[in-house]
Amino acid sequence: MRHTGTLFLSRTPPQASTALCGAFQLQLLLLDRLGPHHTEPWRATWTGVAAQRFWHTHHAALLPGAALVVELERARIHTLACRPPRSEVHARVIHCALVPARSQEPAGASTRLAQPQHAM
């Protein structure tokens, strides 16, 4: 089964490494915001040339809170051995795209500048 949606990077930075097969591997700890006080952690692993290209293109922009549109498969819930016990969903990335950050200018600033001034 495949899962598609927008997830957000957690505070844990992405980890780039080499898989056992020798291919490039990127591991992302993502959060699904289900509600104002409820998040679900996802650990997504992406292996291959596309992952390496994504990492080299976007690694500087992969900051906590960055939004990613992902397509995942093989999702499985794992319960971590800690107190209190926590669960996270492990999945394999099929496709991932970084959502551009919002502009920092005020909402009305661009519309005020775009309106032509009428001469009287």
Distance of CA 33 to the CA centre of its chain: 12
Residue 86 is assigned to a structural domain of this protein = yes
| Counted domains in the chain | 1
- Domain of residue 13, CATH code: 2.40.50.140
The pTM of this model reads 0.78
pLDDT in tens, 2-52: 999 999 999 999 999 999 999 999 999 999 988 888 889 999 999 999 999
pLDDT at 116: 54
Residue 119 is assigned to a structural domain of this protein = no
pLDDT in tens, 59-89: 999 999 999 999 999 999 988 787 787 888 9
Domain that holds residue 38: 2-101
pLDDT band at 104 (very low <50, low <70, confident <90, very high): low
Sequence-distant (≥ 6) Cβ neighbours of residue 98 within 8 angstroms: 54, 58, 61, 62, 66, 67, 68
Residue 120 is assigned to a structural domain of this protein = no
